[in-house]
Structure 1
Amino acid sequence: MHPLDRLTAEEITAARALLDDAGLLGPTTRVPFLGLEEPAKDEVLAHRDGDPVDRTVRAVLLDVATGASTIVLASLTRGEIDWQHAVDPAADGQPAILLEEFIAVDEIVKADAGWVAALKRRGITDLDLVRPCPLSAGVFDIPGEAGRRMLRVLSFLQHRPEDHCWAHPIDGIVAYVDLTERRVLELIDHEDLRVPQEEGNYDDPAYVGPARETLRPIEITQPDGASFAITGDVVEWEGWRLRIGFDPREGLVLHQITLEGRPVCYRASVAEMVVPYADPSPARYWQNYFDAGEYLLGQQVNSLRNGCDCLGEIRYFDAVLADGDGLPRTVENAVCLHEEDFGVLWKHTDLFTEAQETRRQRRLVVSYWATVGNYDYGFYWYFYLDGSFQLECKVSGVLFTSAHVEGSPWAEQVAPELGAPGHQHLFNARLDMTVDGVANAVDEVDLVRLPIGPDNPYGNAFTRRFTRLANEADGARDADPALGRVWRIGSAERTNRLGKPTAFVLHPAGQPALLADPDSSIARRAAFATRHLWVTRYDPQERYPAGELVNQHPGGAGLPEWMARERDLDGEDVVLWHTFGLTHFPRPEDWPVMPVDACGFVLRPYGFFDRNPALDVPESVARHCH
């Protein structure tokens, strides 16, 4: 067994039994999170086949009757509870939201006389067609809320059971729900807005119209099979080697990425994401969601279908996850692995020799999709023949809608009477880099324009400026497309044949970071989203950029705490935390279901090789070419 092997169903069952035997599971105890506690990096790197492995799990437990929660570390190998911490919800935050709490909200609000009366005033009496939407509460210093386990609830209306309710927001009213006491704490009935009537049933031929008949089939075939090899969780392809992991919070995790036998990145994941909305109205000012920390991205994973979600010669990995009772459940076809053509890799027609050479690019794709409420997110890691690798996050699904208010600066009209507030989708990738070893250094690289002068008499010169990020005090950075800013992660121990450090360069997209005011609640809680890059010294306890318990945490946890230590970075074991994403002002073309929009970043080798590593790629011999 390898220390990073994914938890099996048997191990999850054993973990539950261990927690139960220790008296930690009562009749009202639920398990919002149970996952592998990965050993420290030095232990994993020192591991050799056959070495003993201490399999440890981290569990977050919640007593739904009292609201008390506990974090536990337990060794499955030794059958012992190693550590436990009683959570102070006002200071530490709350465990992630449980699926059963979504269901409970429906019962709670429909039993509240004030909420029912507010709907009746709007002409809504059939509660079976009302869909309360339970949403994370955040922290806004509202008297009486500190320490309570809460959700805030906006609602939508169906015309009939198969009607998509997102077309009919019941706007201007929100219920603040205490989940432990199972009651509505406060009802905000701010404004009586007409419920939009037009339907948006994108899966109904009567709404969509007849399907096109002009698209001919595209078939992706590999008659001789795929070029990759799989051994357990380990994938090998064209010099790349990586280990597939899957975490209930982060979703897909890639471990120990190497290229031609040389380490590049020890661990890569999307450690957090936040979706802050821009509407400051009394019914909506609180809208912001941490889809990893509050809703657990990995738990929302889809089961993929060949020919729809993935195309070609596919291999799948199942995900085994613990449910709210701590019992294993299997999501089949959770992670998709395939390779695909990606156009021209390199090409030249030589003027003097008349030689004509073209090689085609190909990439390995590792991907999964998660659905969090109305939005669907696809996470695609790409590995290329030229030594580059990339993360692309795809956003689709249905807009979170509102009633259209003429002249609103916060929302766009997308259909008659229907609006959709502006918002952002901000992701944070945790990149534990090991470029030719654990000793790395990070340089910020900017383009520099030079004025006309003695050394530049014609004004054509420009150059680059390298700024070493020497310690964590310098480690919070912003992208700057005007300067072509990139970040170079170089080895502190190995050089190429030209005497320069072997390196990879992070190319950011440079889209806006968090747009909320720096003094806002969301800026405190999602500090990671205020900068494009953070560089920290590796610490195995520093796992999540907004802290461990994000749900209803008051803020300041995670990266702000760690950066304040001002640890040295130059030539050390460093972790990069890269924030990137989309700012979305919806358009009519995004309704009733949104075409995929995408964002991400690329890491390219920079002096990691002594020459083009794709010179040995053969000419295409595709059998359909003429």
Structure 2
Amino acid sequence: MTVAQERPTAIAVAHPLEPLTPAEIAAAVAILRQEKSLGASTRFATVTLNEPSKETVMGFRPGDDIAREAFAIILDNATAQTYEAIVSLTEGNVTSWKHISGVQPPIMLDEFSECENAVKACPEFIEAIAKRGITDTSLVMVDPWSAGNYGLEDEEGVRLSRALCWVRANPTDNGYARPIEGVIPVVDLNKMEVIRVEDHGVVPLPPQSANYSQEYIKNFRTDLKPLEIIQPEGPSFTVEGHQICWQKWKMRIGFTPREGLVLYTVSYTDSGEERPILYRASLAEMTVPYGDPQPHHYRKNAFDVGEYGVGTLANSLKLGCDCLGEIHYFDAFMTNSRGEVAQIEHAVCLHEEDFGILWKHVDWRTEETEVRRSRRLVVSFIATVGNYEYGFFWYFYQDGTIQYEVKLTGMVSTAAVAPGETPKYGTLIAPQLYAPVHQHIFNVRMDMCVDGLQNSVYEVDIEPEDDELNPYGNAFYAKSTLLATEQEAQRLIDPMKARYWKIVN
């Protein structure tokens, strides 16, 4: 990609929270390269909008001047150092440059293929898989799993991946059906070198394939007739830039390499008054801890947001849409690790869905029936992280409800067992193939703004009434308790008390 050498300036945008344009991303990279003399060993893990202050956003009026800034995370492979930078696109210079010690940026998409190539070229790895009857490295699949930090002295400060490997029977085979059990190449991602190959013993390859594509499956179900979703007058939502209006809802969206979809300034119009609800909401982190203590699996504990960036791994729905009806798409722009602008076409899907009955009542005295159907607005994206697909869906309903749902699809992470063995820490899913037990735990950060910034959190428990006021044993009530500090708010769910939390102004 060719980048102009003259001092770039910010591109005119309509709102301070509009995502960086491709030109702004390119400008930020060019400024950083020039001012900090960044060389070929530099990788750009993140280049995204440096969001302005809440006061700036909430006080913004159309026509106001907008100062644009980019936030960047930069890794120098040569020195193994990580930097955070802020670039003023309005002024055309770097306003902040900090070395952040003791950290690692996420594993970048470019590193996936580079890591695989390094593993396949390693003589020690070639020797290890030959013990298992594998001689064609072109059919080997390498997934660069994060290594985590287990306090090992020789790993301190090293940018490591403990790569997990599978092998295809042919170039279009589903490789996840045949894990290369017991072989773990450990890769220094800064040097892109295999520093050791762990071999915990030969386990035979599972014998069966698990192919799912139309190349292999010719006969699909024929007992379903077409179901058409049509909106002859078009959708009920309107889109202006990255602002969405639908029914009484109004919001803006953004997209970052780490979080993927971000919601901003969500409001609901009540009796003609636009009432704020959320200032910002996004998936902040997720972790996938595995419960198998064996050497090949005990360090599988991926943080798929922070360690990989679900935004960078978002699907382009241009390749196959996952929504039905009248759809509006938003593209996402970021960089690859070398600082070139990367575009994910149709990264975010916006559409409406019928959601059954919203309200119904039958007056048996008059024999009259009234039904109101439910409609919901859906803002979503899907990310592929190795074997898994995560679908992230924000739903907005006509009754004022906001719902966040994560849907998991794709394939489970697989492992091999010896013939006749029953795995204790997983489920056998095919002969000699099992899925280790694990969890998917998600954390969503919600910066609430219910009717303004002065919000409080209450914990609500269902409590039985005291005996002296409960002669029949049936009395109970909802008890609200203020959680005044973050320390107090570290709470557990309690299904026996039907515990929930409410946020009030």
What TM-score, normalized to structure 1?
0.75
Deviation, 1:214, is: 1.2
Kindly provide the amino acid, as one letter, of the partner of residue 137 in structure 1: A
- 1:111-155 deviation per Cα after TM superposition (whole angstroms, max 9, x unaligned): 333222211112222212122221111001122110111111121
Write out aligned runs for 1:152-551 (5 A).
152-204=162-214, 206=216, 208=217, 210-260=219-269, 261-305=274-318, 308-404=321-417, 406-450=421-465, 453-491=467-505
- Bigger CA drift: 304-313 or 258-267? 304-313
1:297 partner SS: coil
Asked if 2 retains the 8 angstrom alpha-carbon contact of 1:314 and 1:338, the reply is yes
> Number of aligned pairs?
486
Identity of aligned residues (%): 46
CA distance, structure 1, for counterparts of residue 501 and residue 450 of structure 2: 13
- 1:26-50 deviation per Cα after TM superposition (whole angstroms, max 9, x unaligned): 1221111111110121121111111
2:317 partner SS: coil
Kindly provide the amino acid, as one letter, of the partner of residue 475 in structure 1: A
Asked if 1 retains the 8 angstrom alpha-carbon contact of 2:110 and 2:336, the reply is no
CA distance, structure 2, for counterparts of residue 353 and residue 159 of structure 1: 69
Deviation, 1:10, is: 0.8
CA distance, structure 2, for counterparts of residue 355 and residue 110 of structure 1: 72
CA distance, structure 1, for counterparts of residue 82 and residue 207 of structure 2: 43
- 1:73-108 deviation per Cα after TM superposition (whole angstroms, max 9, x unaligned): 1111111211111132xx3x1011122222222232
- 1:251-284 deviation per Cα after TM superposition (whole angstroms, max 9, x unaligned): 0111100000100001111111111111111122
Asked if 1 retains the 8 angstrom alpha-carbon contact of 2:354 and 2:373, the reply is yes
Asked if 2 retains the 8 angstrom alpha-carbon contact of 1:404 and 1:411, the reply is no
Kindly provide the amino acid, as one letter, of the partner of residue 233 in structure 1: H
Moved >3 Å (runs of 4+): 305-308, 351-355
CA distance, structure 1, for counterparts of residue 492 and residue 156 of structure 2: 34
Kindly provide the amino acid, as one letter, of the partner of residue 440 in structure 1: N
1:473 partner SS: coil
Q: Look up the match of 1:47.
A: 60
Kindly provide the amino acid, as one letter, of the partner of residue 227 in structure 1: S
Q: Look up the match of 1:574.
A: none
**Alpha carbons of structure 1 residues 29 and 306: separation in structure 2 relative to 1, 3 Å:** closer
2:155 partner SS: coil
Asked if 2 retains the 8 angstrom alpha-carbon contact of 1:306 and 1:314, the reply is no
Asked if 1 retains the 8 angstrom alpha-carbon contact of 2:46 and 2:334, the reply is no
Deviation, 1:414, is: 0.3
Asked if 1 retains the 8 angstrom alpha-carbon contact of 2:318 and 2:345, the reply is no
Asked if 2 retains the 8 angstrom alpha-carbon contact of 1:188 and 1:282, the reply is no
Q: Look up the match of 2:7.
A: none
- 1:564-615 deviation per Cα after TM superposition (whole angstroms, max 9, x unaligned): xxxxxxxxxxxxxxxxxxxxxxxxxxxxxxxxxxxxxxxxxxxxxxxxxxxx
CA distance, structure 2, for counterparts of residue 142 and residue 407 of structure 1: 32
**Alpha carbons of structure 1 residues 305 and 177: separation in structure 2 relative to 1, 3 Å:** closer
1:210 partner SS: coil
CA distance, structure 2, for counterparts of residue 331 and residue 188 of structure 1: 37
CA distance, structure 2, for counterparts of residue 328 and residue 180 of structure 1: 22
Q: Does 1:3 align with 2:16?
A: yes
Q: Look up the match of 1:103.
A: 113
Deviation, 1:432, is: 0.6
Greater RCO (CA < 8 Å, at least 6 residues apart): 1
2:484 partner SS: coil
CA distance, structure 1, for counterparts of residue 389 and residue 430 of structure 2: 21
Asked if 2 retains the 8 angstrom alpha-carbon contact of 1:234 and 1:242, the reply is yes
**Alpha carbons of structure 1 residues 5 and 308: separation in structure 2 relative to 1, 3 Å:** closer
- 1:497-539 deviation per Cα after TM superposition (whole angstroms, max 9, x unaligned): xxxxxxxxxxxxxxxxxxxxxxxxxxxxxxxxxxxxxxxxxxx
CA distance, structure 2, for counterparts of residue 327 and residue 15 of structure 1: 11
**Alpha carbons of structure 1 residues 305 and 329: separation in structure 2 relative to 1, 3 Å:** closer
2:487 partner SS: helix
Deviation, 1:306, is: 9.3
**Alpha carbons of structure 1 residues 381 and 306: separation in structure 2 relative to 1, 3 Å:** farther
Deviation, 1:218, is: 0.7
Asked if 1 retains the 8 angstrom alpha-carbon contact of 2:109 and 2:336, the reply is no
Deviation, 1:408, is: 2.5
Q: Of the candidates 81, 99, 121, which is equivalent to residue 94 of structure 2?
A: 81
Deviation, 1:489, is: 0.3
Structure 1's unaligned 5+ residue stretches are 492-626
CA distance, structure 2, for counterparts of residue 215 and residue 354 of structure 1: 36
Deviation, 1:475, is: 1.4
1:454 partner SS: helix
Deviation, 1:244, is: 1.5
CA distance, structure 1, for counterparts of residue 341 and residue 307 of structure 2: 21
After superposition, the CA RMSD in angstroms is 1.6
Q: Of the candidates 128, 144, 154, which is equivalent to residue 144 of structure 1?
A: 154
Kindly provide the amino acid, as one letter, of the partner of residue 479 in structure 1: I
1:106 partner SS: helix
Kindly provide the amino acid, as one letter, of the partner of residue 423 in structure 2: S
Deviation, 1:9, is: 0.6
Deviation, 1:307, is: 7.9
Asked if 2 retains the 8 angstrom alpha-carbon contact of 1:304 and 1:334, the reply is yes
Asked if 2 retains the 8 angstrom alpha-carbon contact of 1:254 and 1:267, the reply is yes
1:27 partner SS: coil
Q: Look up the match of 1:134.
A: 144
Asked if 1 retains the 8 angstrom alpha-carbon contact of 2:167 and 2:178, the reply is yes
Asked if 2 retains the 8 angstrom alpha-carbon contact of 1:304 and 1:310, the reply is no
Kindly provide the amino acid, as one letter, of the partner of residue 114 in structure 1: E
Q: Look up the match of 2:74.
A: 61
2:187 partner SS: strand
